[in-house]
Structure 1
């Protein structure tokens, strides 16, 4: 999505120079220019406005504030900006979103300014919408992201990153009583699941040319579902049942198998990922609000193990490469936390920050890439990523 692989030069005050940040914007964030160009703004004018915003952020703004707060102050000090926009007929919401992103990038270059996450993460980015659930995310090829949420009408909504731009929201219908779950098992394939008004599991998929209708897969769910895929044309869906135990339903390539009881005592939705054809890892919040984990090794399911922590949401999990897992949870301060299995041991919890009002969602589309989404303080979709 955004390349970020160089250290910025700094000026005599120890902070990046405006021209250095402009060079980063031009070379690594060309999509910001293209979004305004598509709306009719000349690129040289865009470049001038970006420089104006970068200079303001570097020289006048309180960088302990958020990008939104800095942008509001910038607008108040540049009163001609909105009149200028009206004359060019540029949509204000597009312009606001792009300039806030420019401020965010500048804060990132300043070194974890504006309450930004540490540990090599870049974000948070505001992607709009009004969410009534946690999001779900899938990726069917490098630099492709498909995000799903429940909207205010309880329908499923979809927004995607095509490698250059974010789409608008599209509605996919249905009436969901849970957060959705999503996975891809191959190029141009996405499977989405949710709980319906009858507490059954429902399924909808994209086959490369169209979305299917919803199908009812039965069951009695007391949580949203989770889904993973071990190989092409195979799906493993996990839910919490009426006895708080974990249940699995598998599409084996030709039919849906019966529900399987995997035990446990869950106090949240599960999360699931597969990093190989004979491996599944499932996580949830346990009775002690801790992170619990169970896995399939190709022949047997393990017992549940506790990985500690104090969770205030369901977990999310992604895998960057075989035998590596990155688990994300919301902590007691509503911030995002990460715990990583590095192939031989579980690393300590790491605080990433942010203010989440839902469980997170996570996906990896490459060995050094993780994207995390959640619902923010304004019920909007927020996003951050790491690519090293």
Structure 2
């Protein structure tokens, strides 16, 4: 059952699992200011203002302990960074450097080791830029991962010092690059046309990637040193897919259908099951939190409020 978390918002929500019993939920109000709402031990608190105007929902990642790193884009298209430590927010700090200037999207961040935080951003020159922090110190310069990209990368770490990045290039091709042993490999591209930002998960040591094709259908790829042939998951959707991987090797994919309601499709024991309706009225892709046998979904609703539901995926 869907329940409203209230408010009037202009961006999709972004939910982060901070601890076993602690969730932070971010969104942006009509005044372009970030709000955060905490759920601790199952109880939601009120919305709290994080001062400073931004142009889109921030991206936050949890570190070890009760801490968060949050990245946002201000009205000057500059990257801003803030930390949650010991129950308090630090001040905003500008991420200077070449990619710290005009930027299109909030950086995506991933912990590649317990002490190293890597961030990736799409600049206004349509280049993908990369920077990292080792301990408390950020690298001085941004490194380029190529130019003329249509989407920011989706990134994940599949082991200490390993990062997988997937993005759509200027020819609408799905591309993958890996960081390993201190170096980036070359981008490997599939020839099929993709029209949405890809979303990737790891399952049974394979990289599974989901993207929309020209027909607005969902396609599933795997990458294992090379791209597999895409598998059509059928249907027509209006949102980029989101997915979670299960410990037993299963995968669950979530999309918004043409009627604006949510649907899910499950991959179990090497086979795809049929699409199942979840209902609701979603005007954004879902932000997903995966638990042992359930998945929580947060979406922007037709009334501009944030709506939430929990789905069994056992």
TM-score bucket (shorter structure): 0.5 to 0.7
Is 1:281 the counterpart of 2:208 in the alignment? yes
Instruction: Please list, as runs of the form range in 1=range in 2, the aligned pairs for 1:185-334 lying within 5 A after superposition.
Output: 185-212=112-139, 213-276=141-204, 278-296=205-223, 298=224, 300-334=226-260
TM-score by length of 1: 0.56
Equivalenced residue count is: 274
Structure ranking higher in strand proportion? 2
- Paired with 1:160 and 1:354, the residues of 2 have a C-alpha distance of 33
Deviation, structure 1 residue 295: 0.5
1:191-211 deviation digits (Å, cap 9, x = unpaired): 221111211111132333244
Map of 1:36-185 to 2, 5 A cutoff? 66=4, 68=6, 132-133=55-56, 136=59, 138-140=61-63, 148-157=71-80, 167=89, 170-173=92-95, 174=100, 175-178=102-105, 180-185=107-112
Q: What CA distance in whole angstroms lies between the structure 2 residues aligned with 1:206 and 1:311?
A: 38
Q: TM-score, normalised by structure 2?
A: 0.68
How far apart are the structure 1 equivalents of 2:47 and 2:234? 30
For residues 311 and 341 of structure 1, the distance between their equivalents in structure 2, rounded to whole angstroms, comes to 18
Q: Which protein shows a greater Rg?
A: 1
Quickly say closer, same or farther: Cα 1:142–1:377, change in 2 above 3 A: farther
Q: Quick one: distance in 2 between partners of 1:97 and 1:134?
A: 11
Distance in 2 (CA, whole Å) between partners of 1:144 and 1:319 is 24
Residue pair 2:72, 2:80 contacting (<8 A) in 1 also: yes
How big is each residue's C-alpha offset from its partner over 1:214-255, in whole Å with a ceiling of 9 and x where there is no partner? 332223201121112222111111111111111122212221
Query: Measured at CA, do residues 166 and 280 of structure 1 come closer, stay the same or move farther in structure 2, by a change above 3 Å?
Result: farther
Residues 304-324 of structure 1: per-residue CA shift (max 9 Å, x gap) = 111124322322223242512
**Cα–Cα, structure 1 residues 208 and 249, in superposed 2: closer, same or farther, change >3 Å?**
same
In proportion to residue count, which structure has more helix?
1
Q: Is the 8 A contact 1:138 1:183 kept in 2?
A: yes
8 Å Cα contact 1:317/1:363 also seen in 2: no
| Distance in 1, Cα, partners of 2:91 & 2:296 | 19
Output one character per residue of 1:107-161: Cα deviation in whole Å (capped at 9) or x when no partner. xxxxxxxxxxxxxxxx9x9676766446545455598765544443323455777
Contact 1:148 1:156 (8 Å CA) reproduced:
yes
Alpha-carbon separation, structure 2, partners of 1:293 and 1:275: 13
**Structure 2 unmatched ranges of 5 or more:** 8-34
| Structure 1: gaps spanning 5 or more residues | 1-63, 70-95, 106-122
Give the Å deviation of 1:378. 9.3
Whether the 8 Å contact between 2:221 and 2:227 is mirrored in structure 1 is yes
Match of 1:351 in 2: 278
